[in-house]
Amino acid sequence: MSEDNLCVICHTVAEEDIHILKDYPFVCPILCSLLKEYNRSPGGCFFTSNFTEWINSNITSSSILWNSIFGITIWSIWKARNEVIFANWVWKEEEVIKKVIFLVLEVDQHWKVGDYRLLQGEDRLTV
């Protein structure tokens, strides 16, 4: 967070979790694209709920796949944002979306083959 509390990228609103991960103008297209990609309806509260409700409703979904997609998406948005700030990376929505889909497919593949060693604390997964 910057000293003046404004978003260090857009400089227009306070740099808060909800802005960084959900309301930032470049994030909405990523979230919408992934909702569409995985046939998920955003529902009435996806873009209107407060940060805590939004996180909780998406990580406690009955769909294990959606829980993974959401977690990977949020992490990817955070990582991309930090790369913009600290590595002078240019924000490209398509690259973030491709990375999310790649990681989701990788996680899904490990779940399908029943490789749960990562959950048991091993450093590497081998398939």
Any domain includes 125: no
Any domain includes 48: yes
pTM for the structure as a whole: 0.76
Check if the beta carbon of residue 57 is closer than 8 Å to that of residue 45. yes
Report the pLDDT value the prediction gives residue 113, as an integer from 0 to 100.
63
**pLDDT > 70: percent of the chain:** 83
Any domain includes 67: yes
Residue 46: Cβ within 10 Å count: 16
Q: How do residues 4-27 score in pLDDT, each as one tens digit?
A: 788 888 888 888 888 888 888 888
Domain count for the chain, please give it: 1
Q: DSSP letters of 41-84? A: --TTTTTTS-HHHHHHHHHS-S-HHHHHHHHHHHHHHHHHHHHH
Any domain includes 5: no
Domain extent for 111: 17-120
Any domain includes 8: no
Any domain includes 7: no
Report the pLDDT value the prediction gives residue 62, as an integer from 0 to 100.
75
